[in-house]
Amino acid sequence: MTEAAAQVPRHRPLPWTAAATLAVVTVLHLGAQLAGGEPVADGTQVLLMPLLAAAVWTATSAPRPRLVRLTLVALGLSWLGDSLPRLAEGDAAFLLLVGFFLLAQVAYVAAFLPYRGRSVLHRRRPLLVAYVAVVVALVAACAGGAGPLLAPVLVYGALLGTMAVLSTGVNGLTAAGGALFLVSDGLIALDAFADGYSLPAQGFWVMATYVAAQCLIARGVLRRAGRGDAAWLV
């Protein structure tokens, strides 16, 4: 084991303070989504990713592995995607949302890429067909209503699917998180572009799957880093 690997705690849980605060804020946020309390929902949403990033940061010690550093970058970009669209309206707000989450997916792809040999790209390949089918079906459902936003939707869909596929190479926790991220963003796309789509409590389901996805990815990253995978602890 390298020195860098040795300095990453093995199987250390998310620090209790950040994790407990995140749990409370998540419950408040999801409750506000169900109750239609927009001010509370908006105020709590911008706290979610900083709290999760704080948990990841305090669960690790310097020098942090590449996988952890890139995950922190992805969480920061996700926070910008949660926050900055509030400052714009219409297509501009949607482009800010897509733009920052696209960059977050790039960071996750870069983080998970070294583990591609363990992913469905090389193992259990029939599952790869399922991922491709889901992305193609989402794009097909949304293409007709996307209009001038079709190009960014296509690029984002391809990156999101790539992230979900590569997440299967890290461990089961990140794989579950990647799949839920695909579900969450798929719900957003269907609501924005698909004719006839209607899901009761849409905001609740989007945010529930989104927060669960990010938490599962973070926990999976910490578990992988704690195992001292020395080849990628650079």
Structure tokens at 121: 């790209």
Q: What is the pLDDT of residue 234?
A: 29
Read off the pLDDT of residues 150-200 as tens digits, 9 standing for 90 and up: 888 899 999 999 999 999 999 999 999 999 999 999 999 999 999 889 999
pLDDT computed for residue 227 by the predictor: 43
Q: Would you say 234 and 69 are in contact if contact means Cβ atoms under 8 Å apart?
A: no
- Lowest mean pLDDT of 5-9, 85-89, 109-113, 124-128, name the range: 5-9
Average pLDDT taken over every residue of the chain: 88
pLDDT above 70 coverage of the chain, percent: 90
Averaged pLDDT, 31-53: 95
At position 157, the amino acid (one-letter code) is G
Residues found in the chain: 234
Enter the pTM of the model.
Answer: 0.87
- DSSP, collapsed to helix, strand or coil, labels residue 217 as helix
